[in-house]
Structure 1
Amino acid sequence: MALTQQFARVTRDHLDQCRANALDSPGAAPGWDPPTEDLLDTDWATWGLIRYCRTARTDQPDLVALLDRAISGDQGEDIGFLDHPEVYDGFTDPPQLLDAAAVTAIARALDAIALDEVLAELPTVDDDAAEACGFGRGFNGDVRDYLVRHFEAMREFYGGAARRGQCVVVWTD
């Protein structure tokens, strides 16, 4: 089973309800049930984009930090009640939270990224592009399309959360 990057848009009320559920449940089940339209799986794409940006020359030195924050969340807020098999498989670190203010800041920063410029030096041969992103040779498909498609999905996802004043929970599953 491959690990993939997961996101969920949630309200503070939903998080509060999950916390209360976990406290009241014998198995500490949080009742994690965000609607499907508020879930996003970006596969390995963001990890590949981060890897590429670390090794390629980009004009946006803060891009790696932005992408890393968008997929790693912020430390500090206790959402330990989501450290439960109902939410993720427990194979990696527990879910992390980005509050509504952080989501808005990330959404604005993602909107400012000119991805075509970032990917200007990405090799045109798929095996070479896959290697540059850490996917290894034998990646099946168009690497550039894969990166762009998942980046755009993440940008739209964060934009939607920002417009609705939601938090984003991130984890690897």
Structure 2
Amino acid sequence: MALTQQFARVTSEYLDRCRALALTSSGASPGWDPPDGDLLDTGWALWGLLRYCRSTGADPEVIALLDRAVSGDPDGNVGFLDHDEVYDGFGDPPRLLAPAAVADIATALDRVELGDLLADMPVSTEVAAVRCGFGAGFDGDVREHLTEHFVAVREFYRTAAHHTQCVVTWVD
């Protein structure tokens, strides 16, 4: 099974309930089960976009923004989500972005000109895929793949910001 980047939009109250449940349940189960509509799986796409941006010398602020959107903030108190009910334990535990951070990221993602970032994307699928770290066996249009997932993440953060939600990020 391939590792993929996961996101969940949740309220602070939902996290408080999960934290309380983890403290009182056997096995420290947080009861993690956000609605499907508040979950997003971007596969490897954003990692590919980050790799491409780093390789082209893109604006460091855009790189930092994408990295933060994918990685979360290190100071979120979500250790209770370090549980096999939430993720498989292969990578780092889930990380949190509080509502204020989500709003900042949503606003910044809205300013990103993806067309400009991808302007020099190689035309060859094989070359573009290798440049993004997808490997030579990637099947499809790399630019379209990156765009589709970037737009999904931008909309995901925009909705979370509109509803004053937190975003939890992890690799599963």
Instruction: Give the TM-score normalised by the residue count of structure 1.
Output: 0.98
Q: Distance in 1 between matches of 2:143 and 2:76?
A: 35
Give the 5 Å matches for 1:92-103: 92-103=91-102
Residue 144 of structure 2 corresponds to residue 139 of structure 1: no
Q: Distance in 1 between matches of 2:60 and 2:84?
A: 37
Match of 2:154 in 1: 155
Q: For residue 121 of structure 1, report the CA deviation from its aligned partner.
A: 0.3
Q: Distance in 2 between matches of 1:150 and 1:131?
A: 18
Match of 1:63 in 2: 62
Match of 1:72 in 2: 71
% identical aligned pairs: 62
The answer to which structure has the higher helix fraction is 2
Q: Distance in 2 between matches of 1:157 and 1:64?
A: 18
List structure 1 segments (4+ residues) > 6 angstroms apart after TM superposition. none
Give the 5 Å matches for 1:22-41: 22-41=22-41
Q: Distance in 2 between matches of 1:117 and 1:78?
A: 36
Q: For residue 133 of structure 1, report the CA deviation from its aligned partner.
A: 0.5
Q: Distance in 1 between matches of 2:39 and 2:140?
A: 24
Instruction: Give the TM-score normalised by the residue count of structure 2.
Output: 0.98
Pairwise CA RMSD: 0.7
Match of 2:53 in 1: 53
Q: Distance in 2 between matches of 1:156 and 1:117?
A: 19
Q: For residue 77 of structure 1, report the CA deviation from its aligned partner.
A: 2.3
Deviations 1:27-76 (A, max 9, x none): 10001011000000000000000000001143x33111100000100011
Match of 1:120, SS state, is coil
Match of 2:167 in 1: 168
Q: Distance in 2 between matches of 1:92 and 1:136?
A: 21
Q: Distance in 1 between matches of 2:69 and 2:60?
A: 15
Give the AA of the match of 1:13.
E
Q: Which moved more, 1:137-146 or 1:156-165?
A: 137-146
Match of 1:146, SS state, is helix
Match of 1:62, SS state, is helix
